[in-house]
Structure 1
């Protein structure tokens, strides 16, 4: 790995950067793992993105298992090494079956026992593949989750695509990441 951004130094951080760092570290994440040390070079982006991310990760109205499934679909679509590395264990702890995650990672069609999981996968996959969601999938999602959660799901997918792009463009890896889930 050859990071494209200079190493961030707290000692030379601006007041604006320090404020954002403190906000991230005191929030629900409690760490800077992920895109944050990239975004910190644009403190205004970092501030808005990390707040959106906290909402998308913790307040969408989806159970954690389904949010993490959507994040893994995004990580696999973007082949985002750090995003997968960070979210795979969270998804496992939240109850997503490992065989579903593995199928997603290798680009195979997962077999779902849970309808909610199949619906989240179909929604995310349709959106990424066709740049739209069919009327049938949309109606199923709204019928199951309601309009607000479907809006939040779209936000979650968009946010984690931004995370994946950031991680990929700047060759960022997760703390402690020694292996890559996707071939480079």
Structure 2
């Protein structure tokens, strides 16, 4: 689903595109191109994503690790490619990135990072989280961050499903952040 020509956008789509362009993303790209077909859904999702990416208290290293984890789970190359430089900038090691690429547990995670990883891996594999994993998450991350971990995985799973359906290609190297 490529970007529709500007003259074919409805007034609602044009307004939604202006609002997303005026925000921290600065453009309609990636998942927001197919989502523009449903401008209300796009705006609700992009607000959630803006909170998770720019305002959540979840440490950036954990956030970016989770994005890469979900991207590999869904074989989503746009998210993987786009977030790879962000993960490096957030402090995720090359060894951790390589492990995530292989769908393996990163070798050098701090306890809070391991806890976030475990929550999402269990959810994606079993559709539930064990009491021990949940309790460790509450202890190491706190209740708000446990919720933000789960919402991050759900949000990026949604974007992955949209982009996999729309066959969104990976971003060009010149459009990568960082």
TM over 0.5: yes
Moved over 2 A (4+): none
Instruction: Tell me if 1:16 matches 2:12.
Output: yes
- The structure showing larger relative contact order (alpha-carbon pairs under 8 Å, at least 6 residues apart) is 1
> 5+ unaligned residues in a row in structure 2: which ranges?
none
Question: Number of residue pairs matched?
Answer: 174
The more displaced of 103-112 and 43-52 is: 103-112
Q: Determine if the alignment matches structure 1 residue 90 to structure 2 residue 86.
A: yes
How many Å apart are 1:31 and its aligned residue? Answer: 2.4
Q: Which runs of 5+ in 1 are unaligned?
A: 179-184
Q: Is the 8 A contact 2:69 2:103 kept in 1?
A: no
- The answer to whether 1:68 aligns with 2:61 is no
State whether structure 2 residue 75 is matched by structure 1 residue 58: no
- In 1, the alpha carbon distance for the partners of 2:48 and 2:36 equals 15
* Partner residue of 2:166 out of 145, 170, 181: 170
Q: Structure 2 vs 1, CA of residues 90 and 131 (structure 1 numbering), >3 Å: closer, same or farther?
A: same
Conservation of the 8 A alpha-carbon contact between 2:112 and 2:141: no
Deviations 1:5-35 (A, max 9, x none): 2541112211111111111111111122320
Query: CA separation in 2, counterparts of 1:128 and 1:40?
Result: 27
Tell me how large the CA RMSD over aligned residues is. Answer: 1.6
Higher mean alpha-carbon deviation, 150-159 vs 110-119, is at 110-119
